[in-house]
Amino acid sequence: MLPTTLSSLHSTNVTPTPSVSPLSPFSPSSSSSSSSFLSLPSSSSTQRRRRRLNSLCFFGDTHLRISPKPKGLKVKCLVSEPLKVMISGAPASGKGTQCELIVQKFGLVHISTGDLLRAEVSSGTEIGNKAKEFMNAGRLVPDEIVTAMVTARLSREDAVERGWLLDGYPRSFAQAQSLEKLKIRPDIYIILDVPDEILINRCIGRRLDPVTRKIYHIKNFPPETEEIKARLVIRPDDTEEKVKSRLEIYKQNSEAISSTYLKIMTKIDGNRPKEEIFKEIESFLLQEQKDTEKMEKSGNTLLESKSHKIQASTSKDNWRGIPTRLNNIPHSREIREYFYKDVLEATQRAINDGRTRLKVESNIPELNPEMDVYRIGTLMELVRVLALSFADDGKQVKVCVQGSMGEGALAGMPLQLAGTRKILEYMDWGDYGALGTFIKIGSVGAKEVDEQDDMFIIVAPQNAVGNCIIDDLKAMTDAAGNRPVILINPRLKDLPGSSGIMQTMGRDKRLEYAGSFQNCYFFRLLYYAGTQYPIMGALRMSYPYRCELYKRIDEPSGKEKYVILSTFTERPTIDEINDAFQGKPRGFLSGIF
Ligand code: AP5
C-alpha cells in the first residue's frame, strides 16, 4: 500500500491548488502590460530579448519596472530577468532528477505537473479525484484541468520573481498552444533524450523517498541508508505496462509540441551519468543568464556570444536562414556571398577564441571542386574574403596552395588545384595593394612559414594518388606554432594508389593529425539515398554553436524554406539524422559521411 504522502513527492514546490480557476489571471489583454513574467512569443530569441529590452528601455532612465500584477502598480528595482525553463522528455528520462539539480543551482521555482496532480490526488480535491483515474491508467489528464492548474501556479509571486522550471507541461499540442495564447514562453526548451529500453528499466527501478522527496533507483541510485531504504515507495504508474502506455502517449505528442519551441529547443543526451547531463544543462542556463545580463546592460540587440543551442546561431539578427534553391548552379552572387559571410563570421569567432587549428568544410555544389574543377574559383573567392578580412584587422595572412608533389614520373598535383596558385596571384586583391604586404601567397611546407606571418589559410589541401600532403602540412603547422592555420575544404583521407599499397604506413598517425583540426564551419546538403535531388535538408555548424539539422520544406506558394529539426554537440550520424526526420524509415539517406 502506498502512503498518502506519495502524492507530494518529487517536487520542490508542491502545494495543492484548490482554488484553481479555469481562467488564468493572464489573459492576453492583461499580459501586454506585463514585462517581467510574460515574454512575448517571437520568432527568435533575439526578438524575444529585444522585447525584453524594449520594456526595460521604456523605463530606462529610472531602471524601474512595472510588476506584472494586474491590480495596481507595484514598482521595484530592476534585477536581471529571471530564467524561464521548460524541461521535457519521455517518462523516466530524468526530468525530475535534473530538476532537483537545476533548482539547487539556479533557485528556480520547480513546477512539475505530475507532482501538482499527485498533490491534488493526495489532498482529495475535486481536481485530484478527476485526475486520479487518468494517472493510474498511465493516460494524460484532460488539458483543461492541467492547464488551469499550471497557469495559476506560474502566476504566483515566487515563480514571477525567481523564474520557473516547468516540468511535464506542455504534454500535448493543445497545451502548448494554451501557453502561446497566454504569451507564456520559456527562454529555453530542454528535451532529455533516452532510448526506450533504458526508460522502462528506470521506471521499474524508481523509488521515492516520501520524507525528503528525493528520487532513487534500486540499481542506479540506491538509498544512502537502511532507514531511507525502508521508507521508499513505488509510484502506482511505474509498472511496465503503464510505462509503455505513457511512453506511447509521449511519442504521439512530442513532435507537435517541439514544433512550437523549435527555435529555443535543445536536445540533450539523457543516457549518461546524471552529473554529466547536469553539467551540459548548467552550461546552457549559465550562458542564457549571461546573455540576458549582457543584453540588459549593453542595450544591444545583437548577441555576441551564444555558444550552446539552436537559437544561438539562428537568432542572430544578421543570420538570414539557409538560402534556398541550392541545387540551381551556378549560384547567384547573393548565395555565394551568404556563404562567404557565414564562414567568415564563424572563423573570426574561432580565432578570437584562440583556436589555432581550424578547418572549414562547405560542400554546397558551388564550393565543391570535387564535383567540377571550375568551382575552385568560388573557393578562391571565399579565401579572398577571409584573407582580406583578417588583413583589414592588421594581420599578415599567408594564403597557401600545395605545389607539385612527388618526384619523376610520380610528380604531380591534384587536378582541382592545377593553376590555382596562378589564379591567386592574378586575383583582384583590392585597391590598396594588400597582396604583397598583408597578404602573401605560398605553398605548403615548413619553409613557407616566415616570422612575420600571423596566420595561414590553406586552400583545399589534399592527398593525390601516390602522394600524401600530410607530412608537409604537419611540418608547416609545427613551424607555425600557435599561429592559426585554417584549412579550407581539406581532403586528408588516404587515397588508394593503383598498386593498392599507397599510404598504408603510418595511417593512424596521419588520420590522428588530420583529426586535430577543429571545424569552425561546416555546411552540407542532405539528399535522399542515391540521389542528388531533391534536397532533403542541410547540416550547418558555425563555431561555437552546435551542429544544426535543417529540413527543407516546400510551401504551398511554391517557395521553399528550411526549418530547424534538432541540434547536436557533434556532427550527427546518419542514424541520428534519420531519427530526427521522424516518420521516415531508416536508411533513406545517402552515405554522406
Ligand atoms: P510525471 O510525474 O510528470 O511523469 P513522467 O513525465 O512520466 O516523468 P517521470 O516523473 O516518470 O520521470 P522523470 O523524467 O521525472 O524521471 P526521474 O528523474 O524520476 O506525470 C505523471 C502523470 O501525471 C502522467 O502520466 C499523467 O497522467 C499526468 N500528467 C502530468 N503532466 C500532465 C500534463 N501536462 N497533461 C496531462 N497529464 C499530465 O527518473 C526516473 C528514474 O531514473 C529514477 O529512478 C532516477 O533515479 C533514474 N535516473 C534519472 N536520471 C538518471 C541517469 N542519468 N542515469 C541513470 N538513472 C537515472
Quote the pLDDT of residue 591: 35
What is the best residue among 103, 140, 235 to mutate for testing ligand 1's pocket, by most ligand atoms within 8 Å of CB?
140
Atom of ligand 1 nearest to the CA of 118: 23
Grid cell locating 529: 539515398
Dig out the grid coordinates for 501 from the structure. 599499397
- Under 8 Å between Cβ of 483 and 395: no
pLDDT in the model for residue 481: 95
CB 443 within 8 A of CB 400: yes
What's residue 15's pLDDT? Answer: 42
**Is residue 141 lining ligand 1, measured as CB closer than 6 Å?**
yes
For residue 412, the model assigns a pLDDT of 63
Q: Is 237 exposed, middle or buried (0-12, 13-18, 19+ CB in 10 A)?
A: buried
Structure-block grid coordinates of residue 390 = 583578417
Kindly state if the Cβ of 237 falls inside 6 Å of ligand 1: yes
List, by residue number, the catalytic residues: 95, 171, 206, 235, 246
Rounded Cα distance, 545 and 519, in Å: 11
Side-chain-side CA neighbours of 395 within 13 Å: the count stands at 19
Contacts of 462 (CB under 8 A, 6+ apart): 402, 414, 416, 417, 469, 490, 491, 492
Question: With a 6 A CB cut-off, is 96 part of the ligand 1 pocket?
Answer: yes
140 C-beta closer than 6 A to ligand 1: yes
Nearest to 54 by CA among 264, 301, 317, 305: 301
- Report the relative pairing of strands 547-554 and 560-568 from DSSP bridges: antiparallel
Smallest CA-to-CA distance from 480 within 458, 461, 456, 460 is with: 456
Element (H, E) at 56: helix 45-58
What residues form DSSP beta bridges with 435? 439
Of all protein residues, the one whose alpha carbon is nearest to atom 56 of ligand 1 is 220
Q: If you take atom 55 of ligand 1, which residue's CA is the nearest one?
A: 220
b/e map 179-217, b = 16+ CB within 10 Å: beebbbbbbbbbbbebeeebbbbbbebbbbbbeebbbbb
**How far is C-alpha 558 from the geometric centre of its chain's CA atoms?**
29
Residue 335 Cβ contacting ligand 1 at under 6 Å: no
User: Which residue's alpha carbon is at the smallest distance from atom 7 of ligand 1?
Assistant: 91
Determine whether the shortest distance from the Cβ of 223 to ligand 1 is under 6 A: no
Q: What angle do CA 394, 302, 188 make, to 5 degrees?
A: 130
206 lines ligand 1 (CB under 6 A): yes
Could you tell me the CA-to-CA distances from 336 to 322, 343, 380, 381, 481 in Å, in that order? 12, 11, 12, 9, 32
Q: How far is the CA of 502 from the centre of ligand 1 (A)?
A: 55
Nine cell digits for residue 117? 496532480
pLDDT at 503: 53
Probe target for ligand 1 pocket from 202, 260, 274, with the most ligand atoms within 8 Å of CB: 202
| Grid cell for residue 74 | 507595484
pLDDT at 421: 83
Q: Is the CB of 153 under 6 A from ligand 1?
A: no
- How confident is the chain (593 residues) per 10-residue block, as mean pLDDT? 33 40 33 29 35 29 30 40 93 95 96 93 92 91 92 90 95 90 90 91 93 92 95 91 91 84 86 94 89 63 37 47 79 86 93 93 72 72 93 92 68 69 84 82 92 94 78 93 94 67 65 89 86 84 87 82 80 86 46 37
Q: Which cell numbers in the block locate residue 316?
A: 542572430
Q: In Å, how far are 347, 402, 419, 486, 519 from 388, measured between CA atoms?
A: 13, 20, 21, 14, 21
Q: Which three cell numbers stand for residue 548?
A: 544544426
Give the Cα separation of 116 and 16 in Å (integer).
6
Q: Which three cell numbers stand for residue 329?
A: 548552379
Angle of helix 113-123 versus helix 126-136 axis, rounded to 10: 120
Among the atoms of ligand 1, which is closest to the Cα of residue 113?
A: 31
Q: What are the strands of the beta sheet with 265-269, ordered from one edge?
A: 109-112, 164-167, 84-89, 188-193, 265-269
Say what the pLDDT of residue 53 is: 32
Which of these, 477, 463, 489, 480, lies nearest to 402 by C-alpha position? 463
Test site for ligand 1: of 20, 95, 260, most ligand atoms within 8 A of the Cβ: 95
Q: What is the pLDDT of residue 264?
A: 84
Cα–Cα distance list, 118 to 7, 13, 174 (Å): 4, 12, 22
Q: How far apart are CA 390 and CA 438, in angstroms?
A: 9
